[in-house]
Amino acid sequence: MTSDIVTYTSEDRVATITINRADRMNALNEAVIVGLQEAWQTFEAGDDRVAVIHAAGDRAWSVGADVKDPPREMWQGVPSVGATVSKPVIAAVHGWCIGGAYCIVQMCDLVVASANTKFKYPEAQLGFTGGLIASAVARIPHKVAMEFMMLGEDFDAERALAAGMVNKVVPEGEELSSALEWAGILANSAPLVLETVKQFSLATLNKSPAEAGAISRDQLLTVRNSEDGKEGGLAFAEKRTPEFKGR
């Protein structure tokens, strides 16, 4: 990890990923998105078996994109979109969770919400969207997803629970400890079974055009930014045969 704006800690094969921007209600700027992408990559490559993502402060999990400093590519911070994540991810959510922040949460495998959680997607009333939210129709009932995406109205914790947006609601301040309890169960479960179940589940879910496009874009950027990509350009400039290493 290159920044303390998103931290990664590990204990008992459980990774805890924290967005640390409480002074800006954890608004998602470029540093946060890059930090999240690095965190997912660290998690995927390491020995931790489950990750819990949460955020600092008590007012908001995240109010979505920072309007004063928006990220270049919001999708890069989303698990299983901006980075391969084959292991379980649990979101521990509290306070406001708005716009692009909900896109991150909806791609987690399990969600524990504080009783003070409020989800909101106001983009239709603001005049912009990245489109990733459309994957909600594959994860919650269609009519509920359309209501959430189009009307921009608040979904409190209980409404989110009834809609299947979260797994359970806990008293305010207990969402992280509750998520870590579940993480402990998963950390001691069979990794190959969990990975297979997650892989099959993601393959079963339909992907929105924005989600499929972002995954493809990530793969293409990986090729472009690889050592081989740089070697190819350098070899062409030096008029020699490139020496590719497959990385």
Q: Tokens in use for 180?
A: 């870590």
Predicted confidence at residue 157, as pLDDT, reads 98
Task: Write down all domains in the chain, each with its CATH number in brackets.
Answer: 6-189 (3.90.226.10), 207-247 (1.10.12.10)
State the Cα–Cα distance between residues 39 and 20, nearest whole angstrom. Answer: 13
Q: Read off the pLDDT of residues 195-247 as tens digits, 9 standing for 90 and up.
A: 999 999 999 998 888 887 777 776 776 777 778 888 788 878 888 888 888 88
Q: Read off the pLDDT of residues 102-134 as tens digits, 9 standing for 90 and up.
A: 999 999 999 999 999 999 999 999 998 889 999
Phi and psi, residue 57, nearest 5°: 85, 180
* Average pLDDT for 135-152: 97
How large a percentage of the chain has pLDDT more than 90? 80
- The residue ranges of DSSP E strands in the chain, in sequence order, are 6-11, 14-19, 50-55, 60-62, 89-93, 96-98, 110-114, 118-120, 155-156, 168-170
Using alpha carbons, select from 4, 17, 5, 14 the residue that is nearest to residue 186: 14
What value, to the nearest 5°, has the Cα angle with vertex 178 and ends 174 and 180?
125
Predicted confidence at residue 221, as pLDDT, reads 67
* Average pLDDT for 70-95: 96
Predicted confidence at residue 223, as pLDDT, reads 76
Sign, CA dihedral 215-219-222-224, equals: negative
Q: Read off the pLDDT of residues 1-31 as tens digits, 9 standing for 90 and up.
A: 557 999 999 999 999 999 999 999 999 999 9
